[in-house]
Amino acid sequence: MTKKTKQYFGTDGIRGAVGTAPITPDFMLKLGWAAGTVFAKKGGARNKILIGKDTRISGYMFEAALEAGVTAAGVDINLLGPMPTPAIAYLTRTLRAQAGIVISASHNSFQDNGIKFFSGDGSKLADEIEFAIEEQLEKTISTVHPRSLGKASRVTDAAGRYIEFCKSRVDSDLKFNGLKIVLDCAHGSTYHIAPSVFEELGASVTSIGVSPDGLNINENSGSTSPEKLVEAVLQEQADLGIAFDGDGDRVVMVDHLGNIVDGDEILYIIARDRRRQNIDFGGVVGTSMSNLGVEQALDALDIPFARSAVGDRYVMQELLKRGWSVGGESSGHIICLDKTTTGDGIVSALQALSAISSSQSSLAELVSKINKYPQSMVNVRIAESADVSASKKVQQAVSSVEAKLGSKGRVLLRASGTEPVIRVMVEGEDAAEVLMLAEELAEVVGNEVGAAA
């Protein structure tokens, strides 16, 4: 039996360049109608869908198109305005909506945009619902009777609701008084949320990346470009820095010395603190990219560790399968299922700060418990139909590198999910050797399955 494949939905919704199919106003109109029609069949007498967005300029255009499509299907809309992706997951649940729609391309630049969906319980959509929406997209739009058209209204207190939710994710007696923090909001959807959360918990906050103009989201800022945050932390002599991405579901940190603390290290800090407090969380799920040093540091604490494929969807699947509650990616997409239903940059940062506060240690001291291994990654562009696993020479080269590294390193060949590229990653104890081996292996991959081969 042939496995059914999706035409539009990827591992995390629908994403692409604005103005290029399917990221066009006409498609968004039909997507809104298709989603509205599917959820109208699942709901009760009156159905409701929430729509939120990040700060990129095309969000206004797509918000209007989705609004027209959803209301044409006879479903009401609550407009949230610019809000972090995890906030929309939370509000979908608490406002008892059938679904939440996020207009965002996450950490990408303003030229891109995309759509993510949440179900009524604040989790990502099940495959069968995505298939149902795609099936509806093949049909012609039909508008319900005028008396049944949906209505649109704005949730004026959405930001305040989410700020209070974030604060409730840590102990009510926890105060960050005396803690000096720099926040980088990437000119994205946390710009009017994150500063209030940390200030109301007592921290002294300096904020950068909080002046969105529709075009500067993620531009040389945020979790994917934390260099300005490093400078600000050192200049302000802050205790630490926190950087979010454009839609607020990722976080990386910077210690007082200016060292970047990635998602792997934040996972360790959160897990270590839960173990110290005898909180049952099962174990930690990382990905195939998670640093071997973090796995070893968790093992030293007798904390189970498992790897999933790269992508928060796969981390979530592994957590649910094992009944664990803490997982995430090196990129800073951290999931704490005992605190919320999806990856949340602000909530994850609060868990790390709670660990710092309760242990009376600095961020740098907590991270020093990890002996991270040097990693080197080389991207090799390949022919569209190339299958790296079918090449004996590549497999022999991989085996040779693994033999040289022994138990003190790893090799990973991973196909990109967004472009015809093989990511060649080598990890080991010696940085120079790791770089050399990665380049040698990438050359073999390029010769065997490269685009010019």
How many angstroms from the chain centroid is the CA of residue 393?
35
Separation between Cα atoms, residue 230 and residue 368, nearest integer Å:
18
- Write down the H helix ranges in 246-311: 263-276, 292-300
**What is the model's pLDDT at position 43?**
60
**What is the model's pLDDT at position 382?**
86
Q: Tabulate helix, strand, coil % of the chain (nearest 5).
A: 40, 20, 40
Separation between Cα atoms, residue 339 and residue 348, nearest integer Å:
9
Mean pLDDT computed over 336-349:
97
Cβ atoms 265, 367 nearer than 8 A: yes
**What is the model's pLDDT at position 449?**
82
- What sign results for the dihedral spanned by CA atoms 414, 17, 110, 89? negative
Mean pLDDT computed over 15-21:
96
**What is the model's pLDDT at position 452?**
57
Same CATH topology for 262-347 and 375-449?
A: no
Report the residue count for the chain. 453
The model's pLDDT over 51-61, given as tens digits with 9 standing for 90+, comes to 999 999 999 99
The model's pLDDT over 230-240, given as tens digits with 9 standing for 90+, comes to 999 999 999 99
Q: Which residues contact 155 (CB under 8 A, 6 or more apart)?
A: 50, 78, 79, 80, 91, 95, 161
Mean pLDDT computed over 240-261:
98
> Hey, what are 331's tokens?
């990129």
CA distances from 12 to 18, 314, 422 (A): 17, 10, 20
Which CATH number does 14-157 carry?
A: 3.40.120.10
Name the pTM for this structure: 0.93
CATH assignment of 375-449, among 3.30.465.10, 3.30.310.50, 3.40.640.10, 3.40.1190.20: 3.30.310.50
Residue 114 pairs in a beta bridge with 15
pLDDT at 453 over 60: no
Residue 166 banded pLDDT, cuts 50, 70, 90: very high
| 415 vs 319, residue with greater confidence | 319
**Distant-in-sequence contacts of 410-415, Cβ < 8 A, 24+ apart:** 410/292, 411/441, 412/288, 412/289, 413/388, 413/445, 414/288, 414/289, 414/310, 415/388
What backbone torsions phi and psi does residue 16 show, to the nearest 5 degrees? Answer: 175, -170
Residue 415 banded pLDDT, cuts 50, 70, 90: confident
Catalytic residues: 106
Count of Cβ atoms closer than 10 Å to residue 214 Cβ? 13
Second CATH level (architecture) for the domain 262-347: 3-Layer(aba) Sandwich (3.40)
**What is the model's pLDDT at position 44?**
59
Residue 2 banded pLDDT, cuts 50, 70, 90: low
Q: Under CATH, to which class is 177-260 assigned?
A: alpha beta
SS3 string, 207-247, reads: EECCCCCCCCCCCCCCCCCCHHHHHHHHHHCCCEEEEECCC
Mean pLDDT computed over 163-174:
96
Question: Three-state SS for 52?
Answer: strand
pLDDT at 41 over 90: no
The model's pLDDT over 425-443, given as tens digits with 9 standing for 90+, comes to 999 999 999 999 999 999 9
What backbone torsions phi and psi does residue 243 show, to the nearest 5 degrees? Answer: -120, 135
Domain boundaries, the chain: 14-157, 177-260, 262-347, 375-449
Find the range with the poorest average confidence among 73-77, 111-115, 116-120, 309-313.
309-313
Q: What is the mean pLDDT of the chain?
A: 94
pLDDT at 177 over 90: yes
